[in-house]
Structure 1
Amino acid sequence: MTNSSPVSGQAFEYLDNVSPEEQRRLEAVRRYRLVDQPVEDAYDRIAFVAGAIFDTPIATVSLVEQDRVWLAACQGLSGVREVGKEPGLCASVIAQDDVYVINNAAVDPRTLEHPLVRGELGLRFYAAAPIRTHDGYRLGTVNVIDNRPRDASKRQLTALEHLAAMVSDELELRLMVIRSAAAEQRMRETVH
């Protein structure tokens, strides 16, 4: 079964194993047309600032798709644009409204067996704020990663939430441009 998005005219396949709420969230991710696109400066700057605030070697702006996490921006991991959704830290973040923090992943029961913890990356610290749209969908995260355990201050976590809100604002501007371009195209087609 397919349905057409009112924003883009694209057809999305509705899958039996995806809840209606998750399907609507995925449509919200796709309406901004950021997945599979080149890195844009606005998101790259936000990732940079997140890493600077926490003094971490890695910071990303991510969008959680159905079966992958698309990195709209990534500081500290060159050439990486997507990772698998499972087992996903970003997917855990979008399941809640609050900032998600792991101070020491090597001893945190949520991450003891996680491949990013046990593998080459050696993730120890992770903090992420969900990116929420103006209509309430959690699309992804602004997150910071370090290979050493640490604590985050309340001020740092609040800054991370503000950065996630800035991504949401950028996405809304992007959507306005998409809609304006579509309206202009429709006008041109009616004139000719």
Structure 2
Amino acid sequence: MTKKSYKSQSSLISNDSGSREATRLEILRNYQILDTPKEQAFDDLAKLTAYICDTPIALISFIGADRQSVKAEVGGEGLHNLPRDIAFCNYVMLSEDLLEVEDAANDVDFQYNPLVVGKQKVRFYVGAPLLSPEGYPLGSLCAIDMVPRRLNEQQREALRILAREVVAHLELRRARLQLEKEKTQLFELLRPSTNKPDTVAAEEQYTEIFVRQEQKLVRVVTADITYVEALGDYVNIYTDRERLTVYSTMKELESRLPNRDFARIHRKYIVCLGRIIAIETDTALFETSKTTTLSLPIGNSYKAALLNRLNLI
């Protein structure tokens, strides 16, 4: 029997593309997700996919112009940077719903695919398309096994939900990147024009910061800040009068606050040095207002630096 060669359906995809494919690739580029380091949120969703589908491999991957880029994985060695025309993920792009291949070795569209006849020996594949809010397919959330299998309806629905979660995290990531860009632009706009040395100008420009609250930018005078608290992807900024919750990181806030006035005392806390009234073992007691005090833990890795900055006798 003559061995047949694999014939991809890339021509179908490219024919369907035209200006639509160009738009899809532009949307994908705007997410700035290709070839980026691991991120916990995406890793967790890949793990959940493998668990729910009971497979040794799960991937979150995106399809670029000519290859597949894997963002998160469980298993999946040898499935990175696959040519687009052999990646199963590429076929999910043509699907309005899940693409489920129970036994690729007996499937007319995949039985000669290099991933099936090669060392990977892929047999089962199920993928949910990752659709942008505009409706463009960006890639897939998929589960893979080396033995034939079939999902039940509960597993399929769970996979659809997880795919929507992946896109939600993509949108959150894009919003964060856009906010950081706007903050940088605003920072440059507000940078004082001065001939003073850079170190002096830097101290002056940090006397106030701007934070985004819904659709507006709010100015916060740093002298009013008592402490900053990390809260997942957000931080709480506490002042004498209010609490402001903003999408940022502790590293970002620490770089914006005047170094002479604030100190990181814990991975979760930055405090105003002028508010500290006592240090007891691994705890700092400080004033949050004229009438109230608060105790916060001091992390072991921050304690020595904190003590060096206090005027000890």
Q: TM-score range by the shorter chain?
A: 0.7 to 0.9
**1:106 aligns to what SS in structure 2?**
helix
| Cross-structure match for 1:134 | 133
Q: Which has the higher contact order (CA 8 A, sep 6+)?
A: 1
Amino acid at match of 2:174: L
| Cross-structure match for 2:174 | 175
| Cross-structure match for 1:166 | 165
Q: Which structure 2 residues correspond to residues 1-192 of structure 1 after superposition, within 5 A?
A: 19-78=18-77, 81-192=80-191
Which protein has the larger Cα radius of gyration, Structure 1 or Structure 2? 2
1:79 to 1:96, Cα distance in 2 relative to 1, 3 A: closer
Deviation at 1:80, TM superposition (A): 5.4
Deviation at 1:118, TM superposition (A): 0.3
Deviation at 1:40, TM superposition (A): 0.7
d(CA) in 1 for partners of 2:41, 2:78: 18
Deviation at 1:82, TM superposition (A): 2.2
Could you tell me whether the CA contact under 8 Å between 2:102 and 2:123 is conserved in 1? yes
Deviation by residue 1:48-72 (Cα, 9 ceiling, x = unmatched)? 1111111111100001100111000
| Cross-structure match for 1:8 | none
Amino acid at match of 1:66: A
Instruction: Give the TM-score, by structure 1 length.
Output: 0.87
Identity %: 33
Amino acid at match of 2:76: L
Deviation at 1:29, TM superposition (A): 1.1
**Gaps in structure 2 of 5+ consecutive residues:** 1-16, 192-313
Deviation at 1:122, TM superposition (A): 0.6
**Root-mean-square deviation (Å):** 1.3
**Gaps in structure 1 of 5+ consecutive residues:** 1-17
Deviation at 1:79, TM superposition (A): 7.4
Could you tell me whether the CA contact under 8 Å between 2:86 and 2:115 is conserved in 1? no
d(CA) in 1 for partners of 2:185, 2:18: 33
**1:91 aligns to what SS in structure 2?**
helix
Could you tell me whether the CA contact under 8 Å between 1:72 and 1:81 is conserved in 2? no
**1:73 aligns to what SS in structure 2?**
strand
User: Which segments of structure 1 move beyond 2 Å, counting only runs of 4 or more?
Assistant: 77-82
Could you tell me whether the CA contact under 8 Å between 2:59 and 2:76 is conserved in 1? no
